[in-house]
Chain A
Amino acid sequence: MISRQEVEHVARLARLRFEEDELTRLQPELGRIIDYVRQLAELDLSGLEPTSHAVPLKNVLRADEPVPGLSQEEATGNGPDVERGQFVVPRIA
């Protein structure tokens, strides 16, 4: 079972802020999800290498050759606030 403290910690890492009643609801919900996934732990995986990639590919490399990217206008065009070609972000606390 996931602890209240763990729920708060994960929320903080995700920059999510919850009200008390939301935390009370989320704790058992998250616990049930974790228990469901935990079924995998019942499998005997001894002697197996951990899988990092599901696709049998390796060494996909690119030559060190420049290719054109975006213009400054294109790059910043979707930014909600732009100043002198740079993205404006709120004050960093």
Chain B
Amino acid sequence: MSAGPADPGRARGAGVGGGAGRDGWEAVIGLEIHVQLSTRTKMFCGCEVTFGEPPNTHVCPVCLGHPGVLPVTNEKAVEYATRIALALDCRIAKRTIFHRKNYFYPDLPKAYQISQYDLPLGVGGHLDVERDDGSILRVGITRVHLEEDAGKLVHAGGASGRIDGADYSLVDFNRGGTPLVEIVSEPDISTPDEARACVMQLRNLVEQLGVSDVNMEEGSLRCDANVSVRRPGDPFGTKTELKNMNSFRFLQRGLEAEIERQIAALESGERIVQETVHFDPATGTVSTLRSKEEAHDYRYFPEPDLPPIELADAFVERVRASLPELPAARKERLMAQYGLSSKEAGLLAANKPLGDYFEGLAAAAGDVRTSANWVLGDFSAHLNAAGLEVAQSPVTVDRLAELLGLVSRGTLSGKMAKEVFEAMAGTGKPAGEIVAEKGLGQISDAGELEAIVVRLVAANPGPAEEFRRGRERVLGFFVGQVMKETRGQANPQLVNELLRRHLGGPGG
């Protein structure tokens, strides 16, 4: 007997058509999301968790799978996983254990991954996802469990750098053993749009928990999807597992391509095989990787080297109490406390820095309505246009509050304020400086305006007399004259008041 090679995966390209959800078909999608925890050290050893370091420089006998070593669980990873499970409204297991998931792959030095099986840390949660049209989809969370990441493979030689053409592969175990939380959803999702919205929502949530960098491009948030299609009302069809879509766009496009492939196959009388499918963003097509039947015989058994974890109620309650305000709760509070619409509150709650910015501005500027309009309007537009995060904008809360103060004190009109804002965003200068430089600013000095008004009234006795006899619209003529003299910078409200006083009211 001799060691044989793995069964070769069948590579099969499939064309993509247009959108998903063709006539008379519906898709059923469940997600498996892996979140790399931002602990300092790995799941079962004291090696530092790093990114982009020289290969095999953050490794030890434990994460290299040397014989005779003992893994020891990182308590911070247990706490972080508990945070995620609680934030998803899961029940926390009183007793949870690790299992060995057995399979051969060169990125897995022990030939098993330490994971969890029938006693995961959390079960039975949910996540409320806002669809693009503002309606809510409740996605069930089947389970939340802890496991370790594999090493990184680089395929060398060949033309493409892809696995199929490679001559050999290189293995770096720096990532091996990094703590992962796997979140498994119920198959409650029916469109690629909903799937994208769900992963975005989950990313925002985990980000707010402060337990991961949740960066899809760097792989600290990874998403696989179980996909099947059926005629509405039929039982579930055979599912495939779509792997490793490393951006929101690829997630959506990958799902669209796979749904289209399955529908086309079924319509031409083929059967769907339960297997793993890989989306290639370069071609927009999906291809199958390896026979899932074989790959899924993992022969799980309890990890004898890791004693069970029993989480005391006191621990769970302490973690629960330490959770930040979560998006759903914040949305409710923003609506109740500030009278924001559901849509406004939803946008601010989904983006923690933006929500913090709004609340800071409302406190500093004192006007909730104006603050909300600015944050969701000009400020958000500026961030999008410049591709900036809230913290990267030169227009800090204090600076925008200063600008709003100039408006509320009548120094700037709303229209001028927008102009000043653009200059603030573009130059990084504070509002006062820009107003001074541009010679902007309304003339709100009553003395200065009064002199102009007195002079104009005296110079136009005819129209003044008409106004006194009741021709109200003559006032517009005088306002126009004042604006002409001040190059449009007079405070209109003050001008009105002064004119009425000096013209004398109709019949007065």
Contacts and interface: CB of A to CB of B under 8 A. Distances in A.
Contacts of B273: none
A65 interface: yes
Given A52-B308, A70-B60, A92-B169, A15 B54 contact: no
Nearest to B309: A59
Interface stretch (B68-76, B195-203, B318-326, B423-431): B68-76
B74 A53 contact: no
A64 B40 contact: yes
Counting contact residues on chain B (CB < 8 A from A), the size range is 35 or more
A61 B75 contact: yes
A86 B154 contact: yes
Interface string A34-63: 000000000000000000111101111111
A72 B309 contact: no
Nearest to A86: B170
Contacts of B46: 62, 65-67, 69
Contact of A91 (B60, B61, B169, B299): B169
Interface string A63-93: 1111101111001100000011111111111
Contacts of A22: 1
B419 interface: no
A13 interface: yes
Given A52-B97, A72-B56, A66 B170 contact: no
B297 A60 contact: no
A4 interface: no
A24 to B, nearest CB: 13
28 contacts: A13-B102, A13-B299, A15-B3, A16-B1, A52-B97, A53-B304, A54-B304, A55-B307, A61-B72, A61-B78, A62-B74, A63-B75, A65-B40, A66-B40, A67-B47, A69-B59, A70-B60, A72-B55, A72-B57, A85-B54, A85-B55, A85-B172, A87-B106, A87-B171, A88-B170, A91-B169, A92-B105, A92-B169
Contact of B47 (A69, A85, A92): A69
A90 B304 CA distance: 31
Counting contact residues on chain A (CB < 8 A from B), the size range is 35 or more
A13 B304 CA distance: 21
Contacts of B154: 86
Nearest to A22: B1
Nearest to B60: A69
Contacts of A59: 307-310
A86 B40 contact: no
B168 A89 contact: yes
A16 to B, nearest CB: 6
B307 A86 contact: no
A58 B306 CA distance: 8
B497 interface: no
A60 B310 CA distance: 10
Interface of A: 9, 12-13, 15-19, 22, 52-55, 57-67, 69-72, 75-76, 83-93
Interface stretch (B4-12, B85-93, B337-345): B4-12
Nearest to B49: A66
A89 B171 contact: yes
Given A87-B106, A93-B9, 14 more contacts: A12-B7, A55-B307, A58-B307, A59-B310, A60-B73, A61-B72, A62-B75, A65-B41, A67-B47, A69-B63, A72-B56, A86-B170, A87-B170, A90-B169
Contacts of A75: 56-57, 59, 64, 173
A22 to B, nearest CB: 6
A57 B77 CA distance: 19
Contacts, number: 149
B302 A52 contact: yes
A4 to B, nearest CB: 16
A54 B308 CA distance: 11
Which of B60, B63, B299: most chain A CB closer than 10 A? Answer: B60
B391 interface: no
Interface of B: 1-9, 39-41, 45-48, 54-61, 63-64, 72-78, 97, 102, 104-106, 153-156, 163, 166-173, 294, 297, 299, 302, 304, 306-310
Nearest to A61: B75
Nearest to B2: A17
Contact of B55 (A55, A60, A65, A86): A86
A74 to B, nearest CB: 9
B6 A89 contact: no
A92 B297 CA distance: 19
A1 to B, nearest CB: 20
A18 B3 CA distance: 9
A92 B163 contact: yes
B169 A13 contact: no
Given A13-B294, A92-B169, A61 B73 contact: yes
A3 to B, nearest CB: 15
A15 B104 contact: yes
Nearest to A64: B76
B284 to A, nearest CB: 24
Nearest to B103: A13
B56 A76 contact: yes
A40 to B, nearest CB: 15
B199 to A, nearest CB: 27
Contact of A93 (B8, B64, B308): B8
A17 to B, nearest CB: 4
Which of B1, B97, B155, B309: most chain A CB closer than 10 A? Answer: B1
Contacts of B304: 53-54
